[in-house]
């Protein structure tokens, strides 16, 4: 399949959602920025496509509302390039608009989809 030819790098690291949340709280949001950077950078290194870590981080700092839509979209594209049905897409970012629980739902759906993708590429489970 052509999908294998698009992989330019190693699989990213699966991460536990609870750890992301706790570290973000403990570090007053700094880990959340690190997570955004690492997630976008790992997707770019793997596929050779996407915005990458620095652009993702800058977008998060300047216009953070776009990151949930963009990140979910890029994860969906990884699945599509692999010939699989995508569990998330840009529309998944709409969860962020729901007060209180929307951010958690988005984070869970997005990170779980990314974890499954990385694990299908041989990464150790989160």
Provide the pLDDT for residue 9.
86
Contact present, 122 and 20 (Cβ < 8 Å): no
d(CA 108, CA 10): 23
Contact present, 44 and 52 (Cβ < 8 Å): yes
Count the domains in the chain: 1
Give residue-wise pLDDT tens across range 14-73.
Answer: 999 999 999 999 999 999 999 999 999 999 999 999 999 999 999 999 999 999 999 999
Give percent of the chain above pLDDT 70: 94
Sequence-ordered alpha helix ranges (H) in the chain: 2-6, 17-26, 30-47, 52-63, 66-81, 102-120
- Whether 2 is in a domain gets the answer no
- Whether 1 is in a domain gets the answer no
For 112, what's the count of Cα atoms within 13 Å in the CB-facing half-sphere?
10
- Whether 102 is in a domain gets the answer yes
Could you tell me which residue, 5 or 38, shows the higher pLDDT? 38
- Whether 5 is in a domain gets the answer no
Stated pTM of the model: 0.91
- Expressed as residue numbers, the domain containing 48 is 12-119
- Whether 6 is in a domain gets the answer no
Residues 6+ apart with CB under 8 A from 9: 45, 46, 47, 48
- Whether 19 is in a domain gets the answer yes
Provide the pLDDT for residue 68.
97
- Whether 126 is in a domain gets the answer no
- Whether 86 is in a domain gets the answer yes
The structure tokens 């529309």 sit at 91
């Amino acid at each position: 399949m052509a999908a294998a030819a698009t992989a330019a790098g190693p699989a990213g690291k699966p991460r536990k959602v609870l750890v992301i949340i706790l570290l973000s709280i403990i570090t007053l949001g700094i880990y959340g920025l690190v997570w955004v950077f690492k997630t976008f950078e790992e997707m770019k290194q793997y596929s050779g496509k996407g915005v990458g870590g620095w652009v993702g981080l800058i977008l998060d700092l300047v216009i953070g509302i776009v990151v949930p839509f963009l990140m979910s979209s890029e994860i969906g594209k990884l699945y599509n390039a692999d010939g699989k049905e995508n569990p998330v897409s840009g529309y998944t970012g709409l969860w962020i608009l729901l007060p209180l629980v929307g951010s958690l739902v988005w984070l869970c759906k997005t990170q779980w989809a990314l974890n499954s993708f990385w694990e299908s590429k041989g990464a150790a489970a989160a």
